[in-house]
Amino acid sequence: MPRMSLAYTIFKDIYQAHSIVINSTLALLLGLILFEMGWLTKSDYQPKGKHCYVTGGTQGLGKALAESLVRQGAHVTVIARDVEKGKRVEAELKSIAQPNQIIQFISADLTDPQSSLDTLNRATERFEGKVPDYIYLCAGFSKPKYMVDSSMKEFQAGFDGTYWVSAYTAHAAVKLMVTQRVLGKIVFVSSFLGYTSFAGYTNYSPGKYALRGLADALRSEMLLHDIKIHIFMPCGIAGPGYEAENEFKPAVTLKIEEDDTQISPEQCAAALETGLRKGYYQITDNIVCDFARLRSNGGVPTNNFFADCFYLFISSFGLPIWRMTADATVRKGRKAVQEDYEARGVYDHSSK
């Protein structure tokens, strides 16, 4: 028996030693795999001293972000169309900046490719031609309508104001970053409606989905050059933009969103920067966005592994339930919409 006990003890010790080695090896291999995929890389986000280029920086998320960046010691270039508003924001930013910080505003139409390129080049003039280190693509607008009620011009403008307004600048920035060997960051701003959509957003969601496709592909491409790509997928943001879109929003759309809670631009900007500091690729500001993210992320790097596993489990039945309630709301609005179309002469009765 003593010999058996001794043999058992030796076998047990060997088994435990092998288990430790095997588990350690597996953990190391998993860590290396995740590191190679960019899932465990440490973020190098540090705005201080960087040139930060913020489109749509005169209101909402863009303005809140610009203010945060200035307070962190960044040089900030704000891009927007409205000259009067832009000059006012430029003065506000200069009032909280240190004397050595460069703060500038440039008025531009970023839905035009040449204007987008010229504006970026102009922004580099005070930096000896060097491309901005961080590009934040916050410009855009939303005018929700049913597709039947949208003209072709409005339909095109919807894509211009959600996709091209960011894609043209990203194209120009990527070329400069690669040619100048600048290891910068490009941050797209999409939306919860770039994950899933519903009635009223036919001229808005397509561009936001397209931005996610562009960011996914560009993230992969820029691994060749060590340029970091991120995309922010916020829910509703309180402010002038949200108030303006509500003027156009159909009743059914308002009904679906009636229980939504909008967050302030400052809270939204803080969520974005928190994600950047953690090195997240797809950044959200709401747990509902995380549910949608994990149901449609296309296998891109996740955020918090354990939280994401839990969110994926919840979203597997939670998101379909939300979709069913949204569809039910649309069906309830059918009669009112049909009566409105009948009264406006939308229907062609001669085809019957």
* Residue 332 designated active-site: no
Over range 244-258, report the average pLDDT. Answer: 88
From 303, 224, 309, 299, select the one nearest 43 (Cα to Cα).
Answer: 303
Of 326 and 32, the structure prediction assigns the larger pLDDT to: 326
Read off the pLDDT band of 86 (50, 70, 90): very high
Task: Say yes or no to pLDDT of 129 above 80.
Answer: yes
| Confidence check: pLDDT of 19 > 80 | no
Statement: the pTM of the whole predicted model exceeds 0.85: no
Catalytic residue (one of 53, 168, 204, 280): 204
208, 209, 249, 311: the catalytic one is 208
Domains observed in the chain: 51-288 (3.40.50.720)
* The pLDDT of residue 25: 46
347 given a catalytic annotation: no
DSSP symbols for 10-54: HHHHHHHHHHHHHHHHHHHHHHHHHHHTTSSPPP----TT-EEEE
Average pLDDT over every residue of 35-53: 76
Lowest mean pLDDT across 65-74, 157-166, 202-211, 244-253: 244-253
Name the residue type at position 336: A
Q: How many CB atoms lie within 10 A of CB 324?
A: 10
Distances (CA, A) of 268 to 64, 146, 275: 8, 28, 11
Q: Where are the alpha helices (DSSP H) in 53-136?
A: 60-71, 83-96, 113-123
Specify the range with the lowest mean pLDDT, choosing from 4-8, 105-109, 124-128: 4-8
- 141 or 5, which is more confident: 141
Provide the pLDDT for residue 35. Answer: 44
Return the pLDDT at 347.
61
Residue 330 pLDDT exceeds 90: no
* CA–CA gap between residue 193 and residue 180 (Å, rounded): 35
Grouping H, G, I as helix, E, B as strand and the rest as coil, residue 168 is helix
Backbone angles phi, psi at 189, to 5 degrees: -120, 110
Pick left, alpha or beta for residue 239 (phi over 0 → left; psi -120 to 50 → alpha; otherwise beta).
left
Average pLDDT, the chain: 86
CA pair distance 71, 98, nearest whole angstrom? 9
Does 272 score more than 90 pLDDT? yes
Confidence at 298, pLDDT banded by 50, 70, 90:
low
- Angstrom distance (rounded) from CA 85 to CA 280: 32
pLDDT for residue 2 is more than 80 = no
pLDDT value for 157: 93
Of residues 144 and 337, more confidence is placed in 144
